[in-house]
């Protein structure tokens, strides 16, 4: 008897539950269609003037035109992107706070304690661009290839210095991964930014640097730096004659700096999907694409699912490197 009563109640409740679910789906769909009704804040996790900020300023005006509302850039720099990440992670999940982050999004969880959980608190929207680094050396060195660098590093353990833009930076980890995979010991010299590091490499103070392609390209073209290899999966369009590190002898090596868009977790899925599609369409605009490619970027414009898979693989990669080589910032 009790089972029959429970079954009856369940059957009576089912239509209401289905109606509620349908109403929720309809509400989300309408919400996505009407969003945004006010300006959208784009939190950029790095300061003005760098590549991350440049990508944001190329994207924002055209995305504003598509959304019909201003996309306002808010630079929240510091702690390798963690300060901006914390701001967004703790923001209302309403589609009006969006984050443009960089590859430190995947490296920070491996290196430092964060006031938020990267995977739990930040939802993926779209992978915008991937930019390889370029292995450069002072032209006065006898390092002309990846094999030369490995040979010299093996002959003088700890005797080859390499510069980076700071502890835990993408350039630092590019060097650490290179040394780990090549089985060599190189000495890391951390600078406060990529500019001072480039200056000292050109001056001969430090011989090696896994540099940002965008910032180092003018000096490569002028002969002040010698480019040895790019760190991506394939040669860079801006330096087509240059091999990749993998092609030049270190099989499996692949490092990109990348920029992607995230929102607070629990942002309505319909808003996330619409934002992702509008970003992808913006990236395909000829002027936007040309300006990003001029920075040495590979334009992507992924789906949220693709970005989530990508960032999880990146987090696993850098976590393993940090653990194996005992790299920890705090």
Is position 28 within any domain? no
Number of structural domains found in the chain = 2
Q: Is the bond preceding 36 in cis, omega lying within 30 degrees of 0?
A: yes
C-beta separation of 314 from 300 below 8 A: no
User: What confidence tens digit (pLDDT) does each residue in 175-214 have?
Assistant: 999 999 999 999 999 998 888 999 999 999 999 999 989 8
Whether residue 25 is contained in a domain is answered as: no
% of the chain at pLDDT higher than 70: 90
SS3 (DSSP) at 101: strand
Closest CA to 242 of 204, 296, 201, 294: 296
How far apart are alpha carbons 9 and 38 in whole angstroms?
44
- On whether residue 249 sits in a domain, the answer given is no
Do 296 and 220 fall within a single domain? no
- Please state, in angstroms and rounded to a whole number, the distance separating the CA atoms of residues 208 and 143: 9
Mean pLDDT of 36-41: 98
Q: DSSP string covering 214-272, please?
A: HHHHHHHHHTSSEEEEE-SSS--TTSTTSPBTTTTT-TT---EEEEEEEEETT--HHHH
Task: Give domain status of residue 143, yes or no.
Answer: yes
Per the domain annotation, does 114 fall within a domain? yes
Q: Where are the alpha helices (DSSP H) in the chain?
A: 2-34, 51-67, 82-89, 104-111, 118-121, 146-155, 170-182, 194-203, 213-222, 269-283, 286-293, 304-324
What is the pLDDT at residue 308?
98
Q: How many CB atoms lie within 10 A of CB 239?
A: 19
Nearest to 214 by CA among 319, 61, 58, 42: 58
pLDDT in tens, 104-138: 999 999 999 999 999 999 999 999 999 999 999 99
pLDDT-above-90 percentage for the chain: 80
How are beta strands 256-264 and 298-299 bridged, if at all?
Answer: unpaired
Residues 6+ apart with CB under 8 A from 248: 145, 146, 147, 228, 229
124 in the same domain as 48: yes
Predicted confidence band of residue 31 (pLDDT cuts 50, 70, 90) = low
CATH of the domain at 159: 3.40.190.10
CB 32 within 8 A of CB 268: yes
Q: Which domain holds residue 82?
A: 33-131+257-324
Same domain, 125 and 138: no
d(CA 134, CA 215): 10
Q: What is the mean pLDDT of the chain?
A: 92
141 and 189 assigned to the same domain: yes
pLDDT tens per residue across span 7-26: 666 567 566 655 554 454 55
Position 6 confidence tier, pLDDT thresholds 50, 70, 90: low
CATH code assigned at 118: 3.40.190.150
pLDDT at res. 79: 87
Q: Answer whether residue 289 is part of any domain.
A: yes
For residue 81, tell me if it sits in a domain. Answer: yes
72 with 116, same domain: the answer is yes
> Both 127 and 38 in a single domain?
yes
Q: Does residue 160 form part of some domain?
A: yes
Helix crossing, 269-283 with 51-67: angle to 10°?
110
- On whether both 137 and 147 belong to a single domain, the answer is yes
The whole-model pTM stands at 0.86
Same domain, 61 and 74: yes
């Amino acid at each position: 008897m009790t089972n029959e009563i429970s079954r009856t109640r369940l059957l009576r409740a089912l239509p209401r539950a289905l109606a509620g679910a349908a109403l929720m789906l309809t509400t989300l769909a309408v919400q996505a269609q009407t969003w945004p009704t006010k300006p959208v804040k784009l939190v950029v996790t790095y300061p003005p003037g760098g590549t991350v900020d440049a990508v944001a300023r190329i994207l924002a005006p055209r995305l504003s035109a598509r959304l019909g509302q201003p996309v306002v850039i808010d630079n929240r720099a510091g702690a390798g992107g963690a300060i901006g990440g914390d701001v967004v992670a703790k923001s209302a999940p309403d589609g009006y706070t969006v984050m443009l982050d960089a590859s430190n999004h995947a490296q920070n969880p491996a290196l430092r304690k964060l006031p938020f959980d990267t995977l739990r608190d930040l939802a993926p929207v779209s992978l915008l661009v991937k930019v390889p680094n370029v292995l450069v050396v002072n032209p006065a060195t006898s390092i002309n290839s990846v094999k030369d660098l490995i040979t010299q590093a093996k002959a003088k353990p700890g005797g080859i210095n390499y510069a980076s833009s700071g502890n835990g930076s993408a350039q630092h980890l590019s060097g650490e991964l290179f040394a780990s995979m090549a089985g060599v010991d190189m000495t890391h010299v951390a600078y406060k930014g990529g500019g001072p590091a480039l200056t000292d490499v050109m001056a001969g103070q430090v011989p090696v640097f896994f540099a940002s392609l965008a910032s180092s390209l003018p000096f490569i073209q002028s002969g002040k730096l010698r480019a040895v290899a790019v760190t991506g999966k394939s040669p860079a369009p801006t330096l087509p004659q240059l091999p990749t590190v993998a092609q030049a002898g270190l099989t499996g090596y692949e490092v990109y700096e990348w920029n992607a868009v995230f929102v607070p977790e629990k942002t309505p899925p319909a808003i996330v999907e619409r934002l992702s599609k509008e970003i992808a369409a913006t990236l395909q605009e000829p002027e936007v694409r040309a300006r990003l490619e001029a920075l040495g970027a590979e334009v992507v414009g992924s789906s949220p699912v693709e970005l989530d898979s990508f960032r999880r693989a990146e987090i696993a990669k850098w976590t393993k490197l940090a653990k194996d080589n005992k790299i920890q910032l705090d």
